[in-house]
Amino acid sequence: MFVHYSLCVPAVCLLDSSSCGCCLMQRQMFRMESFFNMSLTELQRDLQRAQAALHNLRASRSAFSVALTDTRRCLGPFREDTVVMYQSVFLNLGDGYSTSTGVFTAPRSGVYSLALTVYSDAGSPGATLAACARLRRNGGVLASPSEHNMQDQEDSVSVTMAVQLNAGDRVDVLLPAGCFLCDSDNHYNTFTGFLLYATD
């Protein structure tokens, strides 16, 4: 027997005691349906928040790691300062690094980790400093690692730093006039960066 919920009131129950159980069951089903709908709405909101957070996380992923070359060659020395264009790409997550310009462009504001290693053969002629470079942000120098040890054949130096970058900031490596770098498929010269955490 079907009893409409509007009829499930105490007065009806007194008149027809056989309908009371059905009324109580319908009331309980209505409560369960209301609770289910409320829970479903909350779950949908939670899902939307989780999807937005995941999208934000994926959009913020930014990491690159490059080396000078895959073949044995030296770069420089030049008469003018020259931007180093690293050609061997290990990772370019987010496509922030350009092999055609040698520039990493920050996709969003945040704190980034930057690491640079420069290496050269000090026995090669024509350079005042064997291994030297300048790590720059928007043309301003962040660090100038250099090493010239006259007691051995090879020079190498590394620098690692955490830097605040704004979206669109450009980071590159400059080879100063008179300096030179030598590399091979051993990848002695590397340039790496990645987003630690976003600030926007």
Query: Which band of pLDDT confidence, cut at 50, 70 and 90, is reported for residue 74?
Result: confident
**Would you state the pLDDT for residue 127?**
46
CA Rg, the chain, in Å? 33
pLDDT single digits (tens) 82-138: 999 999 999 999 999 999 999 999 999 999 999 999 998 766 555 455 788 999 999
Rounded mean pLDDT, 60-77: 89
Query: Which band of pLDDT confidence, cut at 50, 70 and 90, is reported for residue 2?
Result: very low
**Would you state the pLDDT for residue 67?**
96
pLDDT single digits (tens) 13-45: 555 556 666 777 777 888 888 888 888 888 888
Q: How far apart are CA 112 and CA 65, in angstroms?
A: 13
Structure tokens at 40: 């479903």
The answer for residues whose C-beta is within 8 angstroms of residue 192's C-beta and 6 or more apart is 64, 65, 66, 113, 114, 115, 116
SS3 46: helix
Establish how many alpha carbons lie within 13 A of residue 32's alpha carbon, considering only the half-sphere containing its beta carbon.
6
pLDDT single digits (tens) 143-187: 998 876 655 567 888 999 999 999 999 999 999 988 889 888 999
Give the global pTM.
0.70
